[in-house]
Amino acid sequence: SRAWHLAARPIGEPKPTDFVSVTTTVADPGPGYILVRNDWLSVDPYMRGRMDEGESYIPQFELGEAMTGHAVGTVVASGADNVPVGSTVSHFLGWREYALLPAGVEVLDTRLAPAQAYLGVLGMTGLTAYAGLTHIAPVRQGDVVFVSAAAGAVGSVAGQIARRLGAAKVIGSAGGPGKARRLVEDFGYDIGLDYRAGDLPGQLTKAAPEGIDVYFDNVGGDHLQAALGTMNQHGRIALCGAISIYNNAEPPPGPSNLPLAIGKRITLRGMNVGDHYDIATDYIQQATDWLQDGSLRTAETILEGIDKTVEAFLAMMRGANTGKTLVHLP
């Protein structure tokens, strides 16, 4: 079985040489354990933070140890009656071909949706979009909503959820004209902005002359600054991610217009999806219905083979993906 280890802590943008693929033998599962052949691996932006030294809300990757992350796979040997061979399960021992782990895993119902959906729209990223727009920066009837990294895993779902929650106008931003177009054609946005075309504050003011009520921030930096300038009184901002600065070797300057948040009585609220698993069952039920009736559209960017895992991660961080980025293990 092959697994990816972190070989060196990246400085700035990670390099392929910061990772190494290691081959180990697979052990039989003892009582209470299962052996899973991973079929799908998830790569996610929060993994960049785990590559750095130091405390975070999730343990860092250790040098010379197999990396971890969400994965789904098939049980190929079982020491637990409740998780028989052939079950499809979700767990956290990603970045590897085979995973030996305690049988206390989530068994997935693949009649409702394909297994990999549980890594995206029915998994952590879908729940992030839903929790952010219902609990952190709740959308109300008639709101104008802005979402950044809107063509990504979280963002491509967030726009559609905002609409269901009653938003009157949903604006997204993404990198490049092709993605900006897909926001409107595929992911239910009213307006798609291409931030790479420049003057994001100007583009945003033109898109929302009436102002923004809710900003779902996946990007931080220049996007947060632009949104603050356009927010309405009592606006709500979900601080979900700050991908524009995850690779910074030096701390970035803060938004220089933060005092605007005072006069506008804006609520800026950080979120961690880990706080919201109490609503996961309800959300999955709803999202499954929406997927089955075709009203929720999703996209995946899939790379084939364990060898491509690092490439998949790096490409996603640079924006080469649309929708959820996954590695498929044949």
- Of 100, 189, 111, the closest CA to residue 151 belongs to 189
Q: Are 9 and 2 in contact (CB under 8 A)?
A: no
Does residue 73 sit in helix, strand or coil? strand
The closest alpha carbon to 180, from 196, 164, 204, 165, belongs to: 196
| Closest separation in Å from C-beta 70 to ligand NDP | 11
Q: Select 34 or 182, whichever has its Cβ closest to ligand NDP.
A: 182
Among 86, 72, 78, which Cα is nearest to 39's?
Answer: 72
What is the residue whose two structure tokens read 């217009």? 257
What CA–CA distances, in Å, run from 115 to 38, 41, 158, 183, 206?
Answer: 11, 11, 21, 25, 41
Q: Which of 36, 165, 227, 240 binds ligand NDP (CB under 6 A)?
A: 240
Residue 105's Cβ-side half-sphere holds a number of Cα atoms within 13 Å equal to: 31
Q: Name which of 45 and 235 has its Cβ closer to ligand NDP.
A: 45
Q: Which of 159, 188, 241, 255 binds ligand NDP (CB under 6 A)?
A: 241
Among 41, 99, 153, 287, binds ligand NDP (CB under 6 A): 153
Task: Kindly tell me which residue out of 128, 225, 230, 309 binds ligand NDP, with binding defined by CB under 6 A.
Answer: 128
Between 116 and 125, whose beta carbon lies closer to ligand NDP? Answer: 125
Enumerate residues 166-195 that contact ligand NDP by CB under 6 A. Answer: 174-175, 179
**Contact flags string 69-108 toward ligand NDP, x per CB under 6 A:** ----------------------------------------
Strands 231-239 and 212-217: parallel
> Of 86-94, 99-107, 145-153, 283-291, which part binds ligand NDP (CB under 6 A)?
145-153
Site for ligand NDP in 35-54 (CB under 6 A): 44-46
- φ, ψ of residue 43 to 5 degrees: the values are -115, 135
Interacting residues with ligand NDP (CB under 6 A): 44-46, 124-125, 128, 149, 151-155, 174-175, 179, 218-219, 240-241, 243-244, 271-273, 316, 319, 321, 325
